[in-house]
Structure 1
């Protein structure tokens, strides 16, 4: 077993995890990396799973409350620290530990000061001491970054913005999609969960997924209920051919295969497709798996259905991945919208007459949803909206326009909420 470093005055307990947390926060805020993707590199050398979990917990808490933590820091400094200054980064992590995670003040200070060796230790010590002595508290729910709050309030209004703040502070439930929807009641009982739709089970806590009954034999997979709706709209496949574009890690591919579609799953990432193949193997489902760029590849013949879960800003999954609040700005959103338009235009030509297209993004940005489909339909008169079957939706979720769903913070709030999504259900004219 790996030996822990002895605790000394120069190496207080837990310092290695705090150094890793500082590296991770820097990767997210300065280099725009995703939290989950950057974690392995930032935490390299930490052998204990508990230490790696601590790194994740510290950085996640920091990101969820960073707007309010920054306000506290600014209240205790004469001159405003630069947003990317190491002193501010260390103070952010330290205050998140003290005010969110409940770490004792002496432990916070002991692990903070070595992080600014050669830097403004006195400043960090003074600010921490001042704020911890005051016994300050953070707003509950936390405030969103100002630019995000402004965009979402302008797009959806104050009520949705308030709901988004509440989601940011609450632990998201764990949703499962079942391989066999007829077993819904049985699995809900076995796993002590609830169901909002046939083929769905919701767990209120965050269990050890791999240790749950039904995981090893592939009876279900983890998938937020919002992410399951695009696949549900296509219904039973009856052996017809469907393309799942940008398919990895495979939740929608498995849905379509379980519903009887002959699926071709396409993704440009070979590494991510390995995970998709592992999921198919575990569940006993089959699909043709293709590594290719949608903008360079084409099917041999027109297909019956296409599911395009397009690359996007991912702002709709902020409650699980708070780093997106700081990585997805207007420039990134515009770049994603341009890519989505190209993918939609290319995919439209692959449908047979009467074939259906489901477009989805896990985004709360209208440019990646409503405006994208408005542009697409104007450019493709052969495509039209298809009414969405209300039985495929959870109670209280309804079309916002013909063939469109807009899933927003506040929906299903009594049941634990859901991720933000935009979904459009379209078909190609029979006569073109």
Structure 2
């Protein structure tokens, strides 16, 4: 059960959460954007209130299938569709507080009824009250009867995972997604002394590849070492691709689709000259701010460009292509993803990935390295993409990745020498993002 935050304005926090939830589920806006754009969230004066809103919405999205199943169990007529959507959102937030957060029953029920009345749903107040009181009595017991990973995974996603892996693996992925992730940091300097220093000062755990995992503790900006540029936030899975080039001193590497900049920072810290591409000039502004904080901007040139048509002035020693994808491997961090994307998004992205891959490959020197990666669990965006590319480009070969390059993490290396990280890998240490990596070398 998630921790409960005492709030200074009980009704206002629920109003803000309701607005954000509607923006995500009804308008299909990513949660991060909805949070960033929420004036109501900014206007909450107390950091505890803002934290409570975030926790309420993320917990609900992580458990949305379970919550909707509980609504059906608690309603007098389970077959009846609850309308308008606003009413269903009010019930969803109330149930989330009652079952999955340590919120007193009276607070969750009373605020939900008040919010319904405020939104001109006064005729439904008896229904809201009855459903939530039923949940307060029986909800936690009902959760023991639920098929949790299936309920919280849309059917189209589950079927893709079953096709790509098998049912047992698909279920394990779904189980991993309801666990809130820890915070991983990549250290700018990777020597043992520096790693030990930050392990001690941030009370973290060193992961097999040298990343540092810490418990979430308030604002990132307030952590020791942030202002000094000693580290940056980056999941262990996302930190792996940039370490697979070998010696990067004085090499010219293009980091494609580079924002927010973690991989670019890794490349620059290893001595590469980096051209960082991103379609969004707005994202590149934040990107440059991050690199300035890390004191790495002098090693990096940024360009706002479409990587499917961009060409460099000279051939490249290497390309790191972190292709735009469904981000299905990051559901632990972005629980909105399953509910705002569908199979058509996957098909569109696969086509776009292919265009970028085809374009960037032609700009690599003979002997140069292409690392293709996605934070996706769908093989259509990973293994299938690379298999199709190699079938068409006989001048590229796979360069198998060895477990020693991953700090000994052998469970994620495939038979072909690619990396397929799953959310339940490193389970005893808290898991990781789903990720795919393939390393190719141009031989002619």
Query: Same fold judged by TM-score > 0.5?
Result: yes
State how 1:94-109 maps to structure 2 within 5 Å: 94-109=94-109
Question: What is the aligned counterpart of 1:145 among 153, 156, 172?
Answer: 153
1:122 aligns with 2:130: no
Would you say the 8 A contact 1:242–1:303 is kept in 2? Answer: yes
State how 1:220-239 maps to structure 2 within 5 Å: 220-239=231-250
Q: How many residues align?
A: 420
Provide the C-alpha distance between the structure 2 equivalents of 1:236 and 1:63, rounded to a whole number of angstroms: 42
| More off after superposition, 115-124 vs 315-324 | 115-124
1:27 — aligned with what? 23
Question: What is the aligned counterpart of 1:316 among 312, 329, 337?
Answer: 329
SS class of match (1:69)? helix
Provide the C-alpha distance between the structure 2 equivalents of 1:141 and 1:164, rounded to a whole number of angstroms: 14
SS class of match (1:136)? helix
Q: CA deviation at 1:266?
A: 0.9
The CA deviation string for residues 302-358 of structure 1, in whole angstroms up to 9 with x for no partner, is: 100000101100010111111112123211111111111111011111101111111
The CA deviation string for residues 141-175 of structure 1, in whole angstroms up to 9 with x for no partner, is: 94322413333233222433343233233231211
2:198 — aligned with what? 187
1:56 — aligned with what? 54
SS class of match (2:205)? coil
SS class of match (1:169)? coil
Q: CA deviation at 1:84?
A: 6.8
Would you say the 8 A contact 2:309–2:356 is kept in 1? Answer: no
Question: What is the aligned counterpart of 1:65 among 63, 87, 95?
Answer: 63
1:340 — aligned with what? 353
1:89 — aligned with what? 89
SS class of match (2:172)? helix
Q: CA deviation at 1:43?
A: 4.5
State how 1:204-243 maps to structure 2 within 5 Å: 204-243=215-254
Question: What is the aligned counterpart of 2:14 among 18, 24, 32?
Answer: 18
1:418 aligns with 2:395: no
Provide the C-alpha distance between the structure 2 equivalents of 1:418 and 1:189, rounded to a whole number of angstroms: 22
Q: CA deviation at 1:82?
A: 4.7
Provide the C-alpha distance between the structure 2 equivalents of 1:249 and 1:225, rounded to a whole number of angstroms: 15
1:39 — aligned with what? 35
SS class of match (1:271)? helix
2:319 — aligned with what? 306
SS class of match (1:418)? coil
Provide the C-alpha distance between the structure 2 equivalents of 1:180 and 1:337, rounded to a whole number of angstroms: 35
Would you say the 8 A contact 2:402–2:417 is kept in 1? Answer: no
SS class of match (1:181)? coil
Provide the C-alpha distance between the structure 1 equivalents of 2:67 and 2:127, rounded to a whole number of angstroms: 16
2:213 — aligned with what? 202
Q: TM-score, normalised by structure 2?
A: 0.89
Q: CA deviation at 1:135?
A: 5.0
Moved over 4 A (4+): none
Report the CA distance shift for 1:58/1:141 in structure 2 as closer, same or farther (over 3 A). Answer: farther
Structure 1 unaligned blocks of 5 or more = 1-6
User: How well do the aligned residues superpose, as a CA RMSD in angstroms?
Assistant: 2.1
